[in-house]
Amino acid sequence: MLRLFVLLILITAGYITMVRADLTIQQIPGQAELGTVEILGVGSGKFRPKLWEKGNLNFVPDIRHPLIEPRKRGLFRNIYAPSVVETPNGWRIFYGAWDGVDSGNDRIYSVFTQDFLDFQDRQIIIEHGRFIHVCNVSAIRLPSGEYRLMCTVYPDAKKLNKPATFHSYDGIHWNGKRMPYHAELSDIISIDGYDKYAEADINGMNVLLYENKLFRLYFNNFKDFGKVYRATSRDGKHFEFDGAVLEIPAVVNDVKKFAVGRRVYYLMGLHMNTDKLWYSLSRDGISFEPARILAQNLGDADRYIVAIGWVVKGQRVLGFLYGAGAVPSLNRNRIFARWLQKKVVFIAEDGTKYEPSGALGPDRAIIKVPADKQVNGHFTVYDEDGSKIIVSKAPAKLISGAVYVLKNDD
């Protein structure tokens, strides 16, 4: 085990870096793939608004690119629009898709994971029913354990997209019927006070948040584009219009709330079917700051980004899932992942740097190493901004196929 016994203050390049004495790196029993090492324990800590305000965030792509692919048994394969809900035993990922089915009708699916390493119980929960499509799900889980979904349905009576809501107390029966529930016109919500609602085209922009016993709906309207709006409801079905919360020519896809001391922060994720994602912060949920770029595509496979869903554990942002594809027709999408992590770098005695090539879930970094030899050197660990050193020059030997862990020994 490599242990740091004191708190060091290093002054380098004109700034002060705090090196944490409570963190250690050690090799543990286990097997990584040959030609790589795995570093466990690198996942993000509690939400820190200052990092987000500065835009210094070390997001690492999952080495499974994509993370979730469509099933192969059907000939229609287009999977996107993820919304991730924390549960007592892990997370339930809801998503809209043609997930290996026999027709190009969007439906709502879910899959369960304990760790984003393995996935179970993949199934259709909402059939398109009366509609051609039911998609773009935004999912939450209430303190009572009840699930609420806000989805896009198409077409309404005026051949437009509208939000519709679904609920379940057990995750099996939706709107009082056993899954898969077949969506009906009566599932469409109302928004009083927004005079453009009847003619609105609300497609993939229906974000649900629950706070203080109230449901918040964040939405856009393609026929009144350039602003994100908010509405509020006590029952999750009948909403009252609150007004605009952000001016931006992009589509809202997720909003999460975090407590930081006595303050609260709201984190919004947005896309616009391009090669970028954006985020915006707010302290009251009704007035959001100008958006910042969150991420860009990594290559042809995720060239057109069509959705984003935050992955949260308590007061931590672990990362985000996003739907994206290689074609501008937006009908060959997959679900990808990026994880907010501390950055672990190994520097060999000859000065060669070995840095993470990707992540395996939110808590593991993967570093490619020589498969045929051991390398002497040291680890340096950076904070979630990817630049502030928190472990400095911890001597180690890099061994192909080995597993290491960054841990807090307090």
The 10s digit of each residue's pLDDT in 291-326 is 999 999 999 999 999 999 999 999 999 999 999 999
Closest CA relative to residue 278, chosen from 267, 297, 265, 291: 291
Asked if the model's pLDDT at residue 103 lies above 60, the reply is yes
CA atoms within 13 A of residue 139's CA, in its CB half-sphere:
35
Predicted pLDDT of residue 75: 96
Q: Where residue 11 falls among pLDDT bands split at 50, 70, 90?
A: very low
Name the residue type at position 9. I
Asked if the model's pLDDT at residue 405 lies above 60, the reply is yes
Name the residue type at position 222. F
Closest CA relative to residue 151, chosen from 113, 96, 197: 96
Structure tokens belonging to residue 192: 């009083």
Closest CA relative to residue 153, chosen from 123, 194, 185: 185
Predicted pLDDT of residue 21: 60
pLDDT per residue over 39-67, tens digit each? 999 999 999 999 999 998 999 999 999 99
Rounded to an integer, the average pLDDT of 370-395 is: 94
Name the residue type at position 351. G
Structure tokens belonging to residue 26: 């050690």
Rounded to an integer, the average pLDDT of 6-29 is: 57
Burial of 176 (0-12, 13-18, 19+ CB in 10 A): exposed
Those residues with Cβ within 8 angstroms of residue 103's Cβ, 6 or more apart along the chain or in another chain: 76
CA distance 47 to 70: 32
Asked if the model's pLDDT at residue 2 lies above 70, the reply is no
Question: H helices of 243-400, where?
Answer: none
Structure tokens belonging to residue 119: 């996935």
pLDDT per residue over 180-204, tens digit each? 999 999 999 999 999 999 999 999 9
Mean pLDDT rounded to a whole number for the chain:
94
Predicted pLDDT of residue 20: 63
CA distance 397 to 348: 9
CA distance 284 to 255: 12
Those residues with Cβ within 8 angstroms of residue 69's Cβ, 6 or more apart along the chain or in another chain: 77, 79, 334
For 100, 186, 197, the CA distances from 130, given in Å and listed in that order, are 21, 10, 21
- Could you tell me which residues are beta bridge partners of residue 305? 324
- Report helix, strand or coil for 150: strand
Predicted pLDDT of residue 396: 93
Residue 40 C-alpha from the chain's centroid = 20
In 10 A of CB 129, how many CB atoms?
A: 17
- Are 16 and 9 within 8 A, CB to CB? yes
